[in-house]
């Protein structure tokens, strides 16, 4: 079934769409539902929610669902305090404590013509909602969004953010660094037409990570389109340690396998590069032990090390030499974490019983802060 009917101008039947930068009269603007899936975000939630409340979009055209996975660090008290005298904000419980169930609760409660996910670890620009509405009205797309600027709050986090914003670090994930408008396969914090959910359903509750990646794959396979516009801007705060970055990307790789199983193909072929690299490392390491001449591993490891060094020096030259020692470690964490997670997913999901056990384990590991599922690779 074609998806063209979903990409009609917003709001429906209100005449020609405005050009980007223009605007409809306030009474004709669509109602927007913002869904914020969170858990244990006490350090960031006030900043994230304030950015949503401070939008240059009519207050009576917004509803905000903060869907909390039973936080234990004071997050709920912060949201409750900010909601006093603010009818736009509703705090909802998410006892399953994972992102997809939080998103689905928000979608089912939503009244908006446009639905937008905003993470508790992100800050959207003051004109984010307005630009999403203008872009949806101006282009043939079912979801729009923009590039995210990944930043850090410590020197180590700044180095990690640089690696995550580099094509060498994350491949052709355009929403990480693109500065030109284009159709893409996925993006972060997308603004979806409500009709999308009516057509293809909600987020897959099995996917602790990569749920929006899988949702966007379903959207595109149904004939929908996703448009990235550089004027739609947001900021995302990177992990502060390599250990947390490793856990994040290991989970991404692990759950990517489940997306592949469900659809018979990955959302993007870039997701297969890290596991191919890890497989080559393991194969050549085995050959180096068993088959003379022995330095087979160098055939993969040496070129990779040179490229890592080159990419690190290039970024350090442009952003500060203090990041040079950290960047090679950050790149290797991204690539090996994702690749080994993917390999772990292949081994786990190959056996249904083992896959179910691994799924429960990953659920338990994910009962901390929700990740930006599927959109950072």
Residue 77 lies in a domain: yes
- The answer to whether position 98 is within a domain reads yes
Domain boundary among the residues 210, 241, 272 is at 241
Q: What is the pTM of this model?
A: 0.84
Q: Tell me if residue 240 falls in helix, strand or coil.
A: coil
Torsion of CA 289, 294, 299, 300, to 10 degrees: 20
SS3 content of the chain, % helix, strand, coil (to 5): 50, 10, 35
The last residue of one of the domains, among 241, 275, 295, is 241
Both 60 and 91 in one domain: the answer is yes
**So what's the pLDDT on residue 352?**
62
For tokens 């390599």, the residue is 242
Residues 308 and 335 occupy one common structural domain? yes
Do residues 180 and 227 share a domain?
A: yes
Both 42 and 155 in one domain: the answer is: yes
Q: Name the domain count of the chain.
A: 2
- What pLDDT score does 138 carry? 94
Last residue within a domain, chosen from 241, 272, 306: 241
Helix (H, G, I), strand (E, B) or coil at 344: helix
Domain extent, residue 151, equals 4-241
Is residue 374 situated within a structural domain? no
Say whether 38 sits in a helix, a strand or coil: strand
Does residue 101 contact residue 213 with C-beta atoms inside 8 Å?
Answer: no
Same domain (yes/no): 123, 21 = yes
What CATH number should be reported for the domain holding residue 66?
3.90.550.10
What pLDDT sits at residue 169? 83
Residues 190 and 310 in one domain: no
Residues 214 and 272 in one domain: no
Report the DSSP beta bridge partners of residue 66: 36, 91
* Structure token digits, residue 376: 């950072």
Determine the Cα–Cα distance for residues 36 and 118; give it in Å rounded to an integer: 5
Together in a domain, 227 and 329:
no
Are both 252 and 237 inside the same structural domain?
no
Tell me, what's the pLDDT at 374? 43
pLDDT along the chain (377 residues), means of 10: 44 40 69 96 93 95 96 93 94 94 96 96 95 95 93 92 88 73 91 96 91 93 94 91 93 89 75 83 82 79 92 94 96 94 86 59 51 42
The verdict on residue 376 lying in a domain is: no
DSSP string, 321-339: GGGTTTHHHHHHHHHHHHH
Kindly state whether residues 89 and 115 are assigned to the same domain.
yes
Whether 200 and 269 map to the same domain: the answer is: no
Same domain, 196 and 272: no
Instruction: Report the distance separating Cα 341 and Cα 259, nearest Å.
Output: 13
213 assigned to some structural domain: yes
Provide the pLDDT for residue 9.
44
């Amino acid at each position: 079934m074609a998806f063209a009917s979903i990409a009609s101008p917003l709001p429906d039947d209100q005449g020609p769409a405005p050009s980007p930068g223009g605007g409809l009269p306030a009474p004709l603007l669509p109602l927007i539902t913002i869904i914020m899936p969170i858990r244990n975000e006490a350090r960031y939630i006030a900043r994230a929610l304030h950015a949503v409340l401070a939008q240059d979009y009519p207050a009576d055209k917004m509803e905000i669902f903060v869907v909390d996975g039973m936080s234990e660090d004071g997050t709920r008290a912060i949201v409750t305090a900010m909601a006093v005298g603010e009818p736009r904000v509703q705090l909802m419980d998410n006892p399953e404590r994972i992102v997809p169930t939080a998103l689905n609760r928000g979608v089912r409660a939503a009244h908006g013509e446009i639905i937008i996910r905003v993470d508790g670890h992100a800050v959207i620009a003051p004109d984010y909602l307005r630009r999403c509405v203008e872009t949806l009205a101006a282009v043939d797309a079912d979801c729009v969004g923009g590039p995210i600027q990944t930043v850090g709050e410590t020197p180590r986090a700044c180095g990690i953010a640089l690696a995550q914003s580099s094509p060498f670090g994350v491949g052709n994930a355009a929403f990480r660094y693109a500065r030109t408008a284009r159709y893409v396969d996925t993006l972060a914090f997308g603004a979806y037409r409500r009709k999308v959910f009516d057509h293809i359903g909600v987020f897959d509750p099995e996917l602790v990570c990569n749920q929006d990646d899988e949702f966007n794959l379903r959207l595109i396979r149904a004939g929908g389109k996703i448009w990235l516009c550089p004027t739609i801007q947001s900021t995302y705060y990177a992990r502060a340690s390599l250990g947390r970055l490793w856990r994040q990307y290991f989970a991404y790789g692990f759950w990517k396998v489940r997306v592949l199983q469900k659809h018979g193909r990955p959302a993007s072929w870039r997701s297969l590069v890290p596991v191919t690299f890890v497989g080559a490392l393991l194969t050549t390491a085995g050959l180096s032990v068993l088959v003379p001449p022995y330095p087979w591993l160098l055939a993969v490891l040496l070129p990779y090390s040179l490229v890592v060094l080159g990419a690190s020096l290039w970024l350090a030259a442009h952003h500060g030499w203090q990041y040079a020692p950290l960047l090679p470690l950050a790149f290797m964490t991204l690539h090996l974490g994702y690749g080994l997670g993917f390999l772990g997913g292949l081994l786990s999901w190959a056996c249904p019983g083992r896959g179910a056990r691994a799924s429960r384990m990953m659920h338990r590991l994910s009962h901390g802060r929700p990740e930006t599922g599927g959109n950072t690779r």
